[in-house]
């Protein structure tokens, strides 16, 4: 007979701000709150996968601190891309030489993310993880949710509408879930063109509900829509992604009964690695403030 409810934790996306998840998990560990199920989107899938693979939070923190060595590489020659783009949309006269330049499906390759995760998770599949994990991505061609999870979760998560995948390496799922459209090249998996799961749900609480979690703790890193400064094409793409993600995330969380933790990280550029200790501390502070509510829900 089970003496406590099934506890699920949903880790939301947020780029480098996902380091706040480390702080949240530190508090839950310290307080002896056992996690039965994990779900992650984008940056949340990175922390979730590392934790589910059995890495300690100290090890995960070290990985985040050394991320500058794992920076993604460009997928395109910037000057050639600009000329070809201007020609295709009619701002330059048609030239055969420019027509030979194929436009990329993203500005950056996600190979470093996949390679890092393959190394740190030992090439595990979802069935090999120490803790059950679901990772959310989006099929760019059909618009359907794509859920990577252990085969045992199929009964709960394969509803006929989603694409359910259980045989892929965790690193492949994380790379797909983290591929911001227009920024990163989509990931091809099992005939599907996959991008950021935040297009469907930045905080995947619905997966945990379907999976049978009775108490759901959601870590919502939010977006920085209000504070954004639009200076170049990358800012435009990221801002558009954030506006859409904020709207979808708000709808999902309002419709759920999840206990929401919101670390107050604020705006953070993808290269502000020096702020990682501060972000982790924000995760600790936010989780500590929610402890009473969480413990009360578990004891019911």
> For position 92, what pLDDT does the model report?
42
pLDDT for res 248: 80
Mean pLDDT, range 235-258, rounded to an integer: 78
Which is higher by pLDDT, 166 or 70? 166
Give the tens place of pLDDT for each residue, 116-168: 999 999 999 999 999 999 999 999 999 999 999 999 999 999 999 999 999 99
Helices (H) and strands (E) in the chain, counts: 11, 11
Residue 100 or residue 116, greater confidence: 116
Max Cα distance, the chain (Å):
74
Share of residues in the chain with pLDDT > 90 (%): 62
The mean predicted confidence, pLDDT, of the chain is 85
**Distance (Å, rounded) from C-alpha 176 to C-alpha 163?**
13
Name the band, by pLDDT with cuts 50, 70 and 90, for residue 236. Answer: confident
pLDDT above 90 for 255: no
Give the C-alpha distances (Å, rounded to integers) separating 131 from 55, 126, 162, 222: 11, 9, 22, 25
pLDDT at 189: 95
Task: Determine the pLDDT at residue 258.
Answer: 92
Of the chain, the percentage scoring pLDDT greater than 70 comes to 80
Q: What confidence tier does 181 reach under pLDDT thresholds 50, 70, 90?
A: confident
Which pLDDT belongs to residue 111? Answer: 77
The confidence band for 1, taking pLDDT boundaries of 50, 70 and 90, is low
CA distances from 11 to 22, 145, 204, 229, 234 (A): 10, 17, 7, 26, 25
In the structure, what pLDDT confidence band is assigned to residue 76 with cuts at 50, 70 and 90? very low
Higher pLDDT, 158 or 103: 158
pLDDT for 215 equals 96
Q: How far is 139 from 276, CA to CA, in rounded Å?
A: 31
């Amino acid at each position: 007979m089970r003496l406590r409810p099934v506890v699920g934790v949903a880790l939301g996306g947020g780029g480098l701000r996902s380091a706040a998840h480390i702080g949240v998990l530190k508090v839950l560990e310290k307080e002896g709150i056992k996690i039965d199920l994990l779900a992650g989107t984008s940056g949340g899938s990175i922390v979730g996968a590392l934790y589910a693979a059995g890495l300690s939070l100290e090890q995960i923190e070290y990985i985040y601190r050394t991320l500058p060595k794992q920076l993604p590489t460009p997928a395109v020659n910037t000057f050639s891309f600009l000329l070809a783009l201007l020609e295709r949309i009619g701002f330059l006269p048609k030239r055969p030489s420019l027509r030979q330049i194929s436009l990329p499906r993203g500005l950056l390759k996600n190979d470093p993310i996949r390679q890092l995760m393959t190394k740190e998770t030992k090439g595990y599949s979802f069935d090999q993880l120490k803790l059950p994990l679901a990772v959310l991505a989006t099929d760019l061609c059909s618009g359907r949710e794509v859920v990577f999870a252990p085969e045992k979760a199929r009964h709960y998560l394969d509803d006929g509408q989603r694409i359910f995948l259980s045989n892929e390496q965790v690193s492949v799922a994380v790379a797909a879930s983290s591929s911001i459209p227009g920024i990163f090249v989509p990931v091809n998996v099992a005939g599907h063109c996959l991008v950021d799961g935040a297009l469907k749900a930045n905080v995947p609480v619905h997966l945990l509900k379907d999976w049978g979690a009775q108490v759901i703790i959601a870590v919502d890193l939010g977006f920085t829509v209000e504070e954004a400064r639009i200076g170049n094409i990358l800012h435009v793409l990221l801002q558009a992604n954030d506006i859409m993600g904020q709207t979808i995330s708000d709808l999902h969380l309002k419709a759920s009964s999840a206990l929401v933790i919101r670390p107050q990280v604020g705006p953070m550029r993808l290269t502000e690695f020096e702020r990682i200790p501060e972000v982790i501390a924000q995760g600790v502070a936010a989780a500590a403030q929610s402890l009473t509510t969480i413990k009360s829900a578990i004891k019911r």
